[in-house]
Amino acid sequence: MNNLIEIVSIGGAVVAVSFGAVMPAFSEGRAIAAAMEAIARQPEAAGTLSRTLFVGLAMIETMAIYCLVLALLLLYANPFTG
Amino acid sequence: MNNLIEIVSIGGAVVAVSFGAVMPAFSEGRAIAAAMEAIARQPEAAGTLSRTLFVGLAMIETMAIYCLVLALLLLYANPFTG
Amino acid sequence: MNNLIEIVSIGGAVVAVSFGAVMPAFSEGRAIAAAMEAIARQPEAAGTLSRTLFVGLAMIETMAIYCLVLALLLLYANPFTG
Amino acid sequence: MNNLIEIVSIGGAVVAVSFGAVMPAFSEGRAIAAAMEAIARQPEAAGTLSRTLFVGLAMIETMAIYCLVLALLLLYANPFTG
Amino acid sequence: MNNLIEIVSIGGAVVAVSFGAVMPAFSEGRAIAAAMEAIARQPEAAGTLSRTLFVGLAMIETMAIYCLVLALLLLYANPFTG
């Protein structure tokens, strides 16, 4: 039963990366949909809109990256597995 | 009972890639639908709209790729299986 | 049963970083969607809007970072694991 | 069974920081969305609006910080762990 | 089983500070959103509105502080732990 830590690490990495994909993806889709609608209403503001959108997407993306980093740390830099 | 790690790895890879398909696919569909509507309303802004859309889709796609990478790592570069 | 602390630490790090991705991502998506709509209605206020938005996104981002910090502390600076 | 206090401390720190991320993030997103809408309707009041918004965000942020402080106290200044 | 008091104290502090973050944060976000809308409709009343808002936020904030104080008392001035 000594490999329970490894099992929990694998399961935890899976859970982290799954949660890190569900909600950020939903939020990015919502933001992009709103941007499409906004550009259709004000095509001349497209530059400002897409610049603001990309900064926002980058900030949402960081959260998915946090989850991925933690998952990789659990697998390859786990301090508790010998 | 020594192959429990392998069982959890296989199950985890499946869960990760499944979650990585559910929500990003939904979000991309939503974004593309909004883009269709927007191009229909402003056909002359189609270039800007599709450029913004493609960058956004690429950022959503990364999350599905994170999940796929983790699933492949669990299968082929698993540090806990001998 | 001495490694129960380590299992709880790993599980706790996963839970923390998952919660730290779910709700902040949802809120940022909502804020960005509202900003898109606002810039479309008042393109001349785009500078003020995006400045206010970025400060707000930074404050939401801090919460995700708190969760990541706690997860990393549990893994690498855990005071209870020998 | 002497390490049950430590397990409860770790779990408690995780719960505290998770709750401290969920609701404050939701509230900040809501406040920022309302501010976006308000600035779009009254661009000339943008200074007052963003000043009021930032004070409000700071007060919501304090709650997330309370939770983080309690989590860190449980880990590093716990009076019950020898 | 003498340390059950300490376990309950830690759990109680976590529950207190978590509940003390959930609802006050929601209420403050709601109040700020309403203030944003009100200032947008009556910009000339912005001074009165923001003054009233800040007093209200301070009174909501006190509840979060009560919870934090009780949590800290449970940890550092607990009368039942020798």
A54: domain range?
Answer: 23-74
Contact C19, D18 (CB under 8 A): yes
In a domain, E29, yes or no: yes
Which of B5, B6, B17, B3 has its CA nearest to residue B66?
A: B17
Which of C57, C64, C56 has its CA nearest to residue C19?
A: C64
Interface ipTM: 0.90
What is the C-alpha R_g of chain C?
19
Q: Which pLDDT score is estimated for A81?
A: 79
Provide mean pLDDT across the span A39-61: 92
In a domain, B54, yes or no: yes
Single-letter residue type at A76: Y
Contact B29, B36 (CB under 8 A): no
Provide mean pLDDT across the span E65-71: 95
What is the C-alpha R_g of chain E?
19
Residue with tokens 């991925």: A68
Give the span between the Cα atoms of C6 and C57, in whole angstroms: 34
Contact A30, D33 (CB under 8 A): no
In a domain, A12, yes or no: no
Element (H, E) at E30: helix E4-41
B18-56: pLDDT as tens digits = 999 999 999 999 999 999 999 999 999 999 999 999 999
Contact A6, B5 (CB under 8 A): yes
Chains touching C, CB cut-off 8 Å, 3+ pairs: A, D
pLDDT values of chain D reduced to their tens digit, one per residue, 82 residues: 568 888 899 999 999 999 999 999 999 999 999 999 999 999 999 999 999 999 999 999 999 999 999 999 999 988 887 6
Give the span between the Cα atoms of C45 and C38, in whole angstroms: 9
In a domain, E81, yes or no: no
Considering only CB atoms, A55 lies closest to which of C13, C21, C54, namely C54
Measure Cα distances from E14 to C67, E11, E61 in Å: 15, 5, 18
Judged by DSSP in three states, E43 sits in helix
In a domain, B61, yes or no: yes
Assign residue B55 the CATH number of its domain: 1.20.20.10
Considering only CB atoms, E28 lies closest to which of D20, D37, D60, namely D60
Chain A nearest CA to B12, separation (Å): 6
In a domain, D4, yes or no: no
In D8-75, the DSSP E strands lie at none
Task: State which residue of chain A sits closest to C22, comparing Cα positions.
Answer: A23
Provide mean pLDDT across the span A6-24: 92
In a domain, D61, yes or no: yes
The total domain count for chain A is 1
**C-beta neighbour count of D1 within 10 angstroms:** 7
How far, in whole angstroms, is CA A76 from its chain's centroid?
A: 20
Give the span between the Cα atoms of B62 and B20, in whole angstroms: 10
In a domain, C38, yes or no: yes
Considering only CB atoms, C76 lies closest to which of A8, A37, A79, namely A79
Give the span between the Cα atoms of B5 and A6, in whole angstroms: 7
